[in-house]
Copies of this chain bind each other. A is one copy, B any other.
C-alpha cells in the first residue's frame, strides 16, 4: 500500500499557507508541524501585519505545536516550511529539539546554512522538497511588489 503521508503531501499544505501570506502582502512563507502524520500547527509569515520581526511562520508553528502538546519540546515532530529557516527560527528549532525539519527553497543569503546556525544534534534535515513551487511563489511576490 502506498503511504499518502509523504513529505510532498505535507509540503503542499505548507505551500497553501505561503499563498495565504502572499494574499496578505507578506513575504510568502508557510509552515506546518506534524506528529504521527497529524498536523498540529499551521501558520504563515505575519511580520508586516503584526509589525513584528519574530512573527515568522516557523516561530508561530513552534509556539502553537508546543501549546497543543502541552510541553515545550517537539521531540517526534516534523516541521515543514517552504523556505529555509533563518538564524532566529533555526535557533528556536534548536531549543525545541524538533526531530525533523523539511524545507523547500534554499535561502542563499540569510538561511541558517549560510549563517552557520546550529540545530540540535538530534534534528535531521531534508531540503529541496517542492523547492521550485516555493521559489516561484517568492519570485512572483517580489515582482508584484516592485510594480
Q: How far is the CB of A99 from chain B (nearest CB, A)?
A: 14
Asked if A62 and B71 make an inter-chain contact with CB atoms under 8 angstroms apart, the answer reads: no
Taken together as a complex, chains A and B put the C-alpha atoms of A71 and B47 apart, in Å, by 10
A116 on the B face (CB < 8 A)? yes
Asked if A91 and B86 make an inter-chain contact with CB atoms under 8 angstroms apart, the answer reads: yes
Provide 18 A-B residue pairs closer than 8 Å at the C-beta atoms, listed in order of the A residue: A50-B72, A51-B66, A51-B67, A51-B69, A51-B71, A52-B63, A52-B67, A53-B72, A53-B92, A54-B92, A54-B95, A87-B87, A87-B94, A88-B88, A88-B92, A88-B95, A91-B91, A115-B117
Residue-wise, chain A 33-71 has the 8 Å CB interface mask toward B (1 for contact) of 000000000000001101111100001001100110111
Taken together as a complex, chains A and B put the C-alpha atoms of A124 and B67 apart, in Å, by 35
